Amino acid sequence: MRKVTLSTIAEELGVSTATVSLALRDSPLVADATKERIKEAASRSGYIYNRRAASLRTSRSGIIGVVVPDIMNPFFAEILVGIEEELGSSRHTFILCNHRDKIAAQQNFIETLLQFGADGVILSPAIGTTADDIRAIESSGLPVVFVARWVKGARVPVFRGDDKKGAYMVTRHLIEMGHRKIAFIGGKRETSTGNDRREGFLAALEQAGIEAVPELRIGSERTRKAGYDAARTMFSKDREAATAIVCFNDLLAIGVMSGLRSLGIEPGRDVAVAGYDDIAEAEISAPTLTSVWNGQQEAGRLAARAMVRILTGSVSEEDAHDDRLIQPELRIRESSCPPKPV
Amino acid sequence: MRKVTLSTIAEELGVSTATVSLALRDSPLVADATKERIKEAASRSGYIYNRRAASLRTSRSGIIGVVVPDIMNPFFAEILVGIEEELGSSRHTFILCNHRDKIAAQQNFIETLLQFGADGVILSPAIGTTADDIRAIESSGLPVVFVARWVKGARVPVFRGDDKKGAYMVTRHLIEMGHRKIAFIGGKRETSTGNDRREGFLAALEQAGIEAVPELRIGSERTRKAGYDAARTMFSKDREAATAIVCFNDLLAIGVMSGLRSLGIEPGRDVAVAGYDDIAEAEISAPTLTSVWNGQQEAGRLAARAMVRILTGSVSEEDAHDDRLIQPELRIRESSCPPKPV
DNA sequence: CGGATGAATTTAAAGGTTTTAAAAAGCGTG
DNA sequence: CACGCTTTTTAAAACCTTTAAATTCATCCG
């Protein structure tokens, strides 16, 4: 029982492999009757299309690389879901890389993609990625689109939530509730997302004429644990260090709430807390968490769609650079509260 | 600037492509001096190894399929991390599928894997997968290993936590605290995991001479939302329906705790709650959640390692069927409490 | 009826690597 | 210098598909 290939079928039916190839792809060059016979024979014999062989010839592999910082982070997991859904409907498959913000890992993966003859890469670049890095990738023949994060100076379409606006919205919401001492926890200056959210935060303060106090901004990892620690650091000396906290993301915010509670401070009553991303947990944490819906899945979907468009050539150069900012939505929940009356 | 291939280099150096191919793979057949020259030329000219071409010849693609129910579930995300780490160190790449317990999606993906000439597949099978399905996959040339879930009757190595034992341990822990009315929430009878955990639960009850009450077992999805709903269903009529709850997983347990609290029942004081999997959230939820560490990452790593071993032939038939049960560990936290005195 | 047209099919090359058998080169020996 | 032996190198086939160009064959038109 040797492997069934085009020529197995061709032989069996007494036609050429070219005919078989064309027939299976429904080419109008082949007579209907022949197509029938061929297709029947193919499915009967359990023929399996050999993409490696095909792509060797066509130099189109149907593989798209997806590079994200960390799939354990629901934010990126959700983006991935969006990408997967979209690619599923377009005969493309993706291979995945978690770079954990290690440039080397990212670089390594790009190399692998090239070896596989990947058609393109959807990238949430690692901290420290330069515009030159991106250019290098592109000039080696891999089209790039960004998702969630992007790199300054790289002329590449980017799909992401409007972080600055979202951060502005949630900060503004807290200000409107009467807060003046608002802290910002988490996010690294090095990531575009971190920068944008911080900017939005600062913009809201400024607009309300509130002076920004550097002590009220703590950078950190983007994990629950980091949130827990940051909250304890900030509030252990001064229980009224701030009356509200904007967190870089929900994971952090949930950690922050635990941290507060461990100090006997009740989030949503003593101190208002807000997160970002609106992950599933936000709705079910205790208290439920005010957050900003950021359209991760949508971003993934759009990025994948854009990539497919680029690959199928059904996109103008213009189109490709039409960065799509997904409009964030504020989700107000129990963790929002006015400042405690003194 | 045409693409650099073996023959580009061969031409430049006036040797044959065979020599170049062998040299780049460090074959002892090539003289050291020649190797030097060739390697130098390769890196200078930016040669990229073409895996499609190679794998066409060798029928080894270096691709491994990974099939899990849902990456949004941290349980599976963690398995994935284990797999990725392990594969990273062994020149293999994986392509991913979320089947969402749809057999069709799983089947589809297997087809894709075959087209790509994948070397094997690491599978957390969809509900309803039969031993025949697995046999079909294997007989089409894809070695299979299971991770987390498995299929009865399929002679395939499986790497997973000892669910039965873990469920036994956590139930036993609650019994020792004095509980007699213990509920079990979540999990589907159709998954191996669901079954095993339920069995462990029942075994602990039986061993303690506690009668199992069917009303205290609710099957459900494995999400936070489902936990929330289940808790409300169970406790809304009778606030003392049970004094302790064992949940199928942490996600559910966190939902259950929220559900309880929404009824004014305080988890960890009024009712003991325990989860399973020990995901990161368990440590940081409020109250922190008693759970069972199940070694997801370890399971992923072992599964990947086993697959690589199978592929490199460095494994006896014996070895391959040495299913590895990872020993669970009980993590007792605040959500454990004795039954409320009446 | 010769030649043009068009449809259906085939031929042959190309794509880049690996591998096997065989050739070549080098070298010491008798 | 012929011989055998080892070390290097090579030619060529194989892997399977796609595609441009060529071929066949029947039909149609003037």
Domains and CATH numbers, chain A: 6-49 (no CATH), 61-161+296-326 (3.40.50.2300), 163-294 (3.40.50.2300)
Question: A20 or B283: whose pLDDT is higher?
Answer: A20
- pLDDT less than 50: residues of chain B: none
Residue pair B182/B216 in contact (Cβ under 8 Å)? The answer is yes
Which residues are CB-neighbours of A331 under 8 A, at least 6 positions away? A278, A282, A290, A291, A292, A293
Chains A, B: CB contacts under 8 A, how many? 113
State the nucleotide closest to A5 in CA–C1' terms: D16
Q: pLDDT by residue (tens digit) across A240-275?
A: 999 999 999 998 999 999 899 889 999 999 999 999
Whether the CB of A5 is below 8 Å from some CB of chain B: the reply is no
**Res B342: pLDDT:** 66
User: pLDDT tens across B247-276, in order?
Assistant: 999 989 999 998 998 899 999 999 999 999
Distance of A94 CA from D11 C1′ (whole Å)? 39
Nearest to B51 among A49, A96, A115 (CB): A115
Alpha-carbon distance of A258 to A224, in angstroms, equals 9
Residue B5's nearest nucleotide, by CA–C1', is C16
Residue with the larger pLDDT of the pair A220 and A122? A122
Q: Which residues touch strand D (CB under 7 A)?
A: A 3, 5-7, 17-18, 21-22, 24-25, 47, 49-50, 53-54, 56-58; B 14-19, 22, 29-32, 34, 53, 56-57, 59
Cα distances (Å, whole numbers) of residue A302 to A152, A154, B95, B270: 20, 19, 21, 47
Question: Which tokens go with A167?
Answer: 């951060």
A246, A216 Cβ separation under 8 angstroms: no
pLDDT grade for A317, boundaries at 50, 70 and 90: low
R_g of chain B computed on alpha carbons:
26
pLDDT digits 0-9 by tens, A73-109: 889 999 999 999 999 989 899 999 999 999 999 999 9
CB contact under 8 A, A116 and B96: no
**Could you tell me the distance in Å between the CA of residue A18 and the C1' of nucleotide D19?**
9
Q: Do B72 and A280 touch (CB under 8 A)?
A: yes
For residue B249, the SS3 value is coil
Residues 165-184, chain B: which have Cβ within 8 Å of A?
Answer: none
Q: How far apart are CA B212 and CA A9, in angstroms?
A: 61
Nucleotide nearest to B59 (CA to C1'): D15
For A144-175, the pLDDT digits (tens) are: 999 999 999 999 999 999 999 999 999 999 99
Contact B5/A at CB under 8 A: no
A172, A331 Cβ separation under 8 angstroms = no
Strands A182-185 and A217-218: parallel
Helix, strand, coil share of chain B (percent; to 5): 45, 15, 40
Which three-class secondary structure state does DSSP give residue A44? helix
Q: Left, alpha or beta for A17 (phi > 0: left; psi -120 to 50: alpha)?
A: alpha
Record: contact B84-A95, CB cut-off 8 A: no
Distance separating alpha carbons of residues B178 and B171, to the nearest angstrom:
11
Q: How far apart are CA B295 and CA A277, in angstroms?
A: 28
User: Tokens at residue B219, please?
Assistant: 């099957």
Q: What pTM value is reported for the model?
A: 0.89
Contact B94 A96 (CB under 8 A): yes
